[in-house]
Amino acid sequence: MPTKVIMPQMGESIAEGTVVKWLKKVGERVERDEPLLEISTDKVDAEIPSPASGVLTQILAVENQTVEVNAVIGWIDGEGAGAGESAGAATEKVAAVPARPERAPSAPGRTLSDLLPASGGVIRSSPLVQRLAVENDVDLRLVKGTGLGGRISKRDVLEYVAQRKTGTAPASPAVTAPVAPVSATQAITFTGPELVVPMTPIRRQIAEHMVASRRTSAHVSTVFDVEMTCIADVLTKYGDEFERRHGLKLTFTPFFIRACVTAIRDFPIINSSVDGTNIIYKRDVNVGVAVAMESGLIVPVIKNAGDKSFLDLARAVKDLAERARTKHLSVEDVQGGTFTISNPGVFGGLFGTPIINQPQVAILCVGAIEKRPVVRDDAIAIRLMTYLEMSFDHRVIDGAVANQFMSRLKSILDNWDEPVM
């Protein structure tokens, strides 16, 4: 039975991926879950396992080709039948890609940063393309990208090198790859009263995901004021020893994760999803922690968070955050979440009302942790406080249950008594 090899969804806002390298050739046998190919996206570089055992009979997306997520990029025949015919077609497809020319000497002192646009412009390309540009002394600003969203492919660079040899390559930066802002922090140059820029594939995917969630779930929010004094005392008392003993800094994040996991045990509806008229309760608590990056948002997931120790949670938070920012997350790292925590407080936001990450039914938003005047024992006192907001799906979670969950969460954090060492 033939099995499709598809470009996986590597996070909620990923719309496309680039095939970096096929680890198997057409006609070769591959076992299920054996590494089959390497892909690269704007957020994640990953090794993709084979979805089935069999013979790789066809490759539809050649190396350095960019395709949309869920597109079929190859076929595996579980019985090995028809491999010869499919292999011939695939070989012909691969052969159509220009061969890599002999390495051209780079100009003295030229580096990758010299061949990429200055701040304010973005040229979309893979690490492989960037290395190829350096090796052949190609200014990527002069190369027209033919991939999705104007991404520059290996083929584009090689064609530019061939044109340069014949004297037909663009010689002026006026001919550039499609450049579009992809973050709110990038500079924009206006030549008139307005600047119209198409959404990037990532931005379109985020938009579709958010609108679909709003259309699917009945969003309701509740906000609680939580005191962080006990946890701050733990950080002060044990922070240095924790870092010396375990090699990682003690932060607030694992406290929130632990508190959520504990509260979910008392209110399992928070860790559920909806399928038609059925509510699906999830045994494992898989907590997604939103990480903001220049190209968008990604939510790596801490699997089985309810079975982990406090130290395990702290290690998982550090590991996933580092790999998210260095684009080393795997497919499994961004799938299977059952509850999400977002933390706009790191940017100073008091609280937010985030949209639920489908198919989940709740998302917690952590606001800025700061000192504020509060009333304690009929007197004004200065305490370290934060606002916690939860957006929840009112189709399955009543307001009373949501507020009971938040009250339990507040009690755990206000009166933290779990050892961290």
Whether 219 sits among the annotated catalytic residues: the reply is no
Question: What is the pLDDT, as a whole number, of residue 149?
Answer: 55
Domain 2-95, what fold? OB fold (Dihydrolipoamide Acetyltransferase, E2P) (2.40.50)
Work out the number of other CB atoms within 10 angstroms of the CB of residue 316.
Answer: 22
Assigned CATH for 217-414: 3.30.559.10
Q: How far apart are the first and last CA of the chain?
A: 53
Rounded to whole angstroms, the Cα distance separating 376 from 253 reads 26
Q: Where are the domains of the chain?
A: 2-95, 112-199, 217-414
Rounded to whole angstroms, the Cα distance separating 110 from 79 reads 51
Q: 112-199 is classed in which CATH architecture?
A: Irregular (4.10)
User: Among 2-11, 198-207, 300-309, which stretch is predicted with the lowest mean pLDDT?
Assistant: 198-207
Q: How confident is the model at residue 197 (pLDDT cuts 50, 70, 90)?
A: confident
Kindly tell me if the per-residue pLDDT of 177 is higher than 70: no
| Cβ–Cβ under 8 Å, residues 395 and 272 | no
Kindly tell me if the per-residue pLDDT of 180 is higher than 50: no
In one-letter notation, the amino acid at residue 155 is R
Whether 328 sits among the annotated catalytic residues: the reply is no
Kindly tell me if the per-residue pLDDT of 176 is higher than 70: no
Kindly tell me if the per-residue pLDDT of 406 is higher than 70: yes
Kindly tell me if the per-residue pLDDT of 62 is higher than 70: yes
Q: Which of 45, 139, 394, 417 is catalytic?
A: 394
Question: What is the pLDDT, as a whole number, of residue 169?
Answer: 67
Question: What is the pLDDT, as a whole number, of residue 126?
Answer: 62
Rounded to whole angstroms, the Cα distance separating 86 from 84 reads 6
pTM of the model: 0.67
Kindly tell me if the per-residue pLDDT of 49 is higher than 50: yes
Q: Which of 114, 284, 307, 398 is catalytic?
A: 398
